[in-house]
Structure 1
Amino acid sequence: MSTPSEYQRVAEDFLAAYESGEPIAPPRETIPGLDLNGAYRIQQLQEQAFEKAGRRVVGRKIGLTTPAMQKQLGVDSPDFGFFTEDMVFENGAEIDTSRFISPKVEPELAFELGSDLPADATMKQVIDAVASTRVAVEIIDSRVRDWDIELVDTVADNASCGAVILGTPFTEVDLRALPETRLIMQVDGQPQDTGTGKDVMGHPLEPLRWLAGVLGEQGVPLKAGDVILTGSFCGAAPVEAGCRIIVDSTDMGLLTASFV
């Protein structure tokens, strides 16, 4: 049976990896029998350490929202992590790749909440709570060596979140039509992949409703002002210094960023 000290030790290993850029062994090997609750506990310890250091948590990211990714990791539900204010970049940003270990990019939608969400939120309540919608990119990164991850490893590693890039906020988006929204991603002018909102659990707001329930069970409500990324529309693409990415949306314009 895992002990609090084992969770703390792995959390400290992850925190050290952020600083050193040196990835660590998969937590499932460090703590044999590590379960999902333990993995989230390791993640929470890192979140607490960030907040103690003055880094403000401003949002959540949801991952594993497509059948293909769930099949790859052998799961049937999403996972989630957090991001802090200093992990957020704006449209057109130049991003220093040295802050990451092995970054990849995923096109998504981000939603800012204008009101709190109850744990048992209906889809109508979710729609009513959304204040703005943005095209977004999550920069996923693994502090686990060689991306050698199973579900408990990525959860412990803050759901492999490295940073997020947020596009222009739109307040008049038809949220019920989001399943038809298309995102097309290019890296250095080369098309990478494309997807529509219905690829994200049928509707990009469905993961947000799921997250409200999961966090509500933990006594951590989603509140007004939170920004939530609800999962990639398509596969991730690796990036390195010198790369420029463009994500084109059918109805919310372009998001661009350069890696240096």
Structure 2
Amino acid sequence: MSFRNSPETVAEMLLDATGTGFPIAPPRHLIPGLDLDGAYHIQLLQERARQVEGREIAGRKVGLTSQAMQQQLGVASPDFGFFTRDLVFDSGTEIPVGRFIAPRVEPELAFILDRDLGAGEDLDSVAGAIRSTHLSIEVIDSRVKEWDITLVDTVADNASGAAVILGPTTDVAVSELPAVRATMFRNGEKAAEGTGADVLGHPLAPLVWLADTLAQRDVVLRAGEIVLTGSFCSAVPVAAGDEISVDYGEYGRLSAIFS
């Protein structure tokens, strides 16, 4: 485009795309020279808009934490986004695929916090702040045409977050988290797999990064919030009629059907 859009305009365009199903041009093209701070500002504008609508922020997600996902999307840094309570589904739920544009799924671990987290946390302090650990599947989506994204584009687009499928509490010792293996199946065929060690070396390491990164933006992770810390492997596309299941070995299994 030949002119520079405002962050407010791009935020509104992304919100509209979520509702209409029609993706937009990459934010880096809509705002030439868009940097990471500007992209997070666009994301924040969308978060505030959702809160004005009365939608409760349920938690945060860390993305791009595995080498597989960084290579798949051509980036070299984690990012974060938010999700609202109405986007959290139980395992086994039938999810209308029409609510998304170009959805993909990722196996992850989710953690519910028992206390607030801010700056200066380390792996041990974060581990002590976990109320419960859950198996999860994240649905990611792009409101940007054809997933044509760089880091600033996905950040502006709320880290490509779309929905969370949350399983029951699972009993995993902190020391065992890197060894947890997730094998994802689409319609009964193995589609991808990985371990907790593929998530920045330890599934709690992204939570340390997130607490510090948010603190720099004067945001505190609150007790009771759900945090997804990143995919074990590359994301897999889903379409209507697909059934996704993830086998976490001794820790359980969860699934979703896309209608």
Asked if Structure 1 and Structure 2 have the same fold, meaning a TM-score greater than 0.5 normalized by the shorter chain, the answer is yes
CA deviation map 1:20-69 (0-9, x unaligned): 11000000001000000000000000000000000000111111101243
> Aligned-pair distance for 1:160?
0.4
Q: Is the 8 A contact 1:117 1:125 kept in 2?
A: no
Write the distance in 1 (CA, Å) between the matches of 2:256 and 2:33.
40
Q: Is the 8 A contact 2:69 2:233 kept in 1?
A: no
Aligned to 2:181: 182
TM-score, with structure 2 as normaliser = 0.96
CA deviation map 1:71-92 (0-9, x unaligned): 4555442100000001110011
Aligned to 1:117: 117
Q: Is the 8 A contact 2:185 2:245 kept in 1?
A: yes
CA deviation map 1:174-233 (0-9, x unaligned): 012100000000010010011011000000000000000000111111111010000000
Aligned to 1:89: 89
User: Equivalent residues in 2 for 1:17-36 (5 A)?
Assistant: 17-36=17-36
Write the distance in 2 (CA, Å) between the matches of 1:24 and 1:70.
22
Instruction: Mark the runs of 5 or more structure 1 residues left unpaired by the alignment.
Output: none
CA deviation map 1:147-174 (0-9, x unaligned): 111111000000000101001113x420
Q: Is the 8 A contact 1:134 1:252 kept in 2?
A: no
Q: Is the 8 A contact 1:139 1:162 kept in 2?
A: yes
Alignment length (residue pairs): 256
User: Equivalent residues in 2 for 1:9-88 (5 A)?
Assistant: 9-73=9-73, 75-88=75-88
Percentage of matched positions with identical amino acids = 55
Instruction: Mark the runs of 5 or more structure 2 residues left unpaired by the alignment.
Output: none
Write the distance in 2 (CA, Å) between the matches of 1:27 and 1:118.
30
Instruction: Give the secondary-structure state (helix, strand or coil) at the position aligned to 2:119.
Output: coil
Q: Which runs of 4+ in 1 moved over 6 A?
A: none
> Aligned-pair distance for 1:117?
1.4
Residues 204 and 105 of structure 1, relative CA distance in 2, 3 Å threshold: same
Deviating more after overlay: 97-106 vs 65-74 = 65-74
Give me the CA root mean square deviation: 1.3
